Each structure stands twice: as C-alpha cells, then as structure tokens.
Structure 1
Amino acid sequence: MSTMTLPETDTRPETTDQTSDDRPEMFHYVQKNKIAESAVMGTHVVALCGEVFPVTKSPKPGSPVCPDCKEIFESLPPGGDS
C-alpha cells in the first residue's frame, strides 16, 4: 500500500499515553512542513481530522490510517496549493 500525499500533507502517528486501549495505533494526515519541527522540538501538530499530538514515529507501509483523515484527504482537490 502506498501513501498518497499532497505537497503539504503527510501521514504521521497519533500518540497517546493511554496503553489500556485495544485500538491499533492510527496514523494521521498532517501538514508536511510541521513534521520535522514537531519531531525535533516536541511541538504538537493538528491532523486533518482535528487530532492534536506530537510527532514521535514515522508510519510503516501498511500501517492503519485514520478513516476521518483519509476521507478528508480524498475529498481535497488535487495539487494542494492552498
């Protein structure tokens, strides 16, 4: 499975301190230009679905993607020049 991204959007994980949850770790679409800053500085990013979290991991091929982010991403016009 390949990850489709707009020039300004990429997928990154939602990370939480909750470990008692049985949900699989989900990866979200976020602004690409915010990923490095978040990974280095620990700042939070906002996913297309509205989740807010610091970037701590990169997605691996086949990782589950947030269905809300995916739906929003697929509804965006091609090009991402906004």
Structure 2
Amino acid sequence: MDAMETETLERTDTDERVDDGTDDDAPKVFHYVKKNKIAESAVMGTHVVALCGEVFPVTKSAKPGSPVCADCKRIFETLKT
C-alpha cells in the first residue's frame, strides 16, 4: 500500500491570524492535504480538506520551516507506519 502524499497549505480561517498591527498576512499554521488536490484548488478555487478536517481553498504554499498544524502532523505520523 502506497503512503498518502501530502503537502502543507495555508489555513485561511481568520481566527488563526493574529492582528499585531502589521500588514503581514502570513497564516499562523499550515495544514497537510492530499497532494493531488492542490493544483485543482489553486486553479479552480475548490476547497481542500486537511487531515485534521479543516476545509479551505488553496491560496499559498508553505515554505520550509513554516509552522504545521499539530493535529495534521500527528495524523500524518500515524499514516506513515
């Protein structure tokens, strides 16, 4: 059985962002979603479902070292075994 391919993506919920008075709109955490759904979401504007259950459209990709949703990370670790 092949392991599920995932990437991290922005969580777009406004309650995940902290208004610190700057114009930085970077998300607080990124989520794992099925890799084959990323391009479709980015082009068509459809929503993706993260491993943790969050639903959102793809608007940004995570950069190396970006914070990852703790629930997504925990779930992904269980899928690797």
**TM over 0.5, shorter chain:** yes
Q: TM-score, normalised by structure 1?
A: 0.76
The aligned runs of 1:2-81 (5 Å cut-off) are: 8-16=5-13, 18=14, 21-22=17-18, 25-78=28-81
For residues 72 and 7 of structure 1, the distance between their equivalents in structure 2, rounded to whole angstroms, comes to 11
* The structure with more radius of gyration: 2
Q: Unaligned stretches of 5+ in structure 2?
A: 20-26
For residues 59 and 21 of structure 1, the distance between their equivalents in structure 2, rounded to whole angstroms, comes to 15
Normalized per residue, which structure has more helix? 2
The alpha carbon displacement at 1:8 in A equals: 2.3
The alpha carbon displacement at 1:9 in A equals: 1.4
The secondary structure found in structure 2 opposite 1:69 is helix
The alpha carbon displacement at 1:20 in A equals: 8.5
The secondary structure found in structure 2 opposite 1:75 is helix
The alpha carbon displacement at 1:11 in A equals: 1.1
- Please tell me the residue identity of whatever aligns with 1:51: E
Percent identity reads 69
- After superposition, the CA RMSD in angstroms is 2.2
